[in-house]
C-alpha cells in the first residue's frame, strides 16, 4: 500500500497523458485495424461538450468516457464530401473517475478499452456487436 509520502508530489494525469496512452493503444493495434485507426484523429478534452451530451441525451458529463464522431467505414461512400476527418474523442475526467471507481485497473488498460470501443464504431460495429465480444463493463 502506498504511503502518504508516495503521493505528496504527484498530480492527476493530464490531457497529454491520456492522449499518449491512446496513441500507444493505436500503435499496438494489429493489422488490419492499424490502418483504419491511423486515419482517425484523437482528441482529448476534460469533458464532452454540452452539444455532444445533448445530442446523446446524456445529462451527467461523467457518463461519457469516449465518443466516435464520423462516418463508419461500412457507410462511407466515394460520394461523401471530403475534408472531414473522423475523430475519436476521449474525456479525461470521466475516464479518471471510472479508473478510480474500479481501483483494480491500470489507467493504460482503461484508455485502451475506451479507444478500441470507439474505434469499433468507426469500423461499423454497433454497441450490441461490441458488447457481444467485450464484457468489460460487467
List the chain domain ranges. 12-68+84-132
The residues pairing with 45 across neighbouring beta strands, listed in sequence order, are 91
Taking alpha carbons only, the member of 34, 54, 42, 32 closest to residue 115 is 42
Contact 21, 44 (CB under 8 A): no
- By percentage, how much of the chain surpasses pLDDT 90? 52
Q: Which three cell numbers stand for residue 62?
A: 461523467
- By percentage, how much of the chain surpasses pLDDT 70? 82
pLDDT at 18: 97
CATH for 12-68+84-132 is: 3.30.2010.20
pTM (2 d.p.): 0.85
Residue 71 has pLDDT above 80, yes or no: yes
Amino acid at each position: 500500500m502506498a504511503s502518504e509520502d508516495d503521493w505528496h508530489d504527484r498530480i492527476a494525469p493530464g490531457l497529454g497523458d491520456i492522449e499518449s496512452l491512446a496513441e500507444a493503444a493505436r500503435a499496438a493495434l494489429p493489422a488490419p485495424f492499424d490502418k483504419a485507426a491511423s486515419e482517425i484523429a484523437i482528441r482529448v478534452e476534460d469533458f464532452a461538450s454540452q452539444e455532444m451530451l445533448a445530442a446523446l441525451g446524456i445529462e451527467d458529463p461523467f457518463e461519457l468516457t469516449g465518443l466516435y464522431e464520423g462516418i463508419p467505414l461500412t457507410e462511407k461512400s466515394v460520394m461523401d464530401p471530403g475534408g472531414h476527418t473522423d475523430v475519436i474523442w476521449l474525456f479525461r475526467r470521466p475516464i479518471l473517475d471510472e479508473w478510480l471507481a474500479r481501483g483494480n485497473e491500470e489507467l493504460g488498460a482503461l484508455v485502451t478499452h475506451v479507444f478500441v470501443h470507439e474505434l469499433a464504431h468507426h469500423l461499423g460495429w454497433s454497441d450490441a456487436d461490441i458488447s457481444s465480444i467485450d464484457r468489460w463493463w460487467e
